[in-house]
Amino acid sequence: MCTGSCSKFVAIPLCVLAPLSIICNIVLFFPGLETKYAANNSEEMPLLTEEVKYMGGLIGGGIMVLIPAIHIHLTSAKNCCANRCGMFLSIGFAAVGVLGAVYSLSVAALGLSNGPTCLWGNGENPLQWGAPFAGGNGSYLANKEMWDWCIEPKNVVEFNVGLFSTLLVAACLELILCLIQMVNGLFGCICGTCGKE
C-alpha cells in the first residue's frame, strides 16, 4: 500500500475517534444528564467523579489526537503535505497523538477502576457522597448488585461505565493508529509518498 493511502486509512478513523472522545468527556460532566452536579461541584463537596476532571477524553484523546489527524490527512492529499517533509512531520504529530491516547487510556482505566462519585449507602454505612468503589480495583464491575449502592445520580454506575469504556476503546484504537502512522511516516520519509504514481 502506498504511504499516502495508508495515511488516509489512519487519518479518517482518527478524525472520528477524536470528536467521539471529546463528546464522551463532556457528557461525563453531566451524570444523569443533569447540570446540577457540575454546577454545585466543589472541593469541599465533590459531586463529580474525579477522573472526569482530568479531561483525558477532551485533551488527550480529543485535541492531542485531532490536530495530528488533520496533518496526517493532509499527507494523503496530492498537493499539500504529500512529500517526504510532510511525512517526516507526521511522525512527530503521530507521536503527540500517541501521548494523547496514552493519557486518555490511563484516565479512562482509572475512572473504570475507581468507579463513580455518588450519594451512596450499603446498609452498613449512612448515606454519603463519595466514591464507594475506589480502591476496589474495579471489582464492582463484575458484581452488579453493588451498583445499587449508588442512589443519586440515577444509574450513574451504568453512565460512567459506558462512557469510560467508550473512552478506553477509543484511546486503544487511537494509540494503534498513531503507532501505525509513525511507522508509515518513516517509510514515507525514506521512500516517498507515491504521490506521483
Tens digits of pLDDT across the chain (197 residues): 577 677 788 889 999 999 999 999 999 999 988 888 888 888 777 888 999 999 999 999 999 999 999 888 888 776 666 677 778 888 899 999 999 999 999 999 999 999 999 988 887 778 888 888 887 777 889 888 889 889 989 999 999 999 999 999 999 999 999 999 998 888 877 776 665 54
Extract the C-alpha cell encoding 53: 476532571
- Terminal-residue alpha carbon distance, the chain: 12
Q: How many domains does the chain have?
A: 1
- Burial (CB count within 10 angstroms: exposed 0-12, middle 13-18, buried 19+), residue 185: buried
In a domain? residue 176? yes
In a domain? residue 197? no
Question: In terms of residue numbers, what domain contains 16?
Answer: 3-191
Parallel, antiparallel, or unpaired for β 128-130 and 118-120? antiparallel
Phi/psi of residue 58, nearest 5 degrees:
-75, -50
Q: What is the pLDDT of residue 79?
A: 66
Parallel, antiparallel, or unpaired for β 150-152 and 128-130? unpaired
Q: What is the pLDDT of residue 197?
A: 46
Q: What is the pLDDT of residue 194?
A: 66
In a domain? residue 79? yes
Of 143, 156, 138, which is closest to residue 49 (Cα–Cα)?
156
In a domain? residue 158? yes
Question: Is residue 114 classed as helix, strand or coil in its secondary structure?
Answer: helix
Q: What is the pLDDT of residue 7?
A: 77
Extract the C-alpha cell encoding 85: 517533509
In a domain? residue 196? no
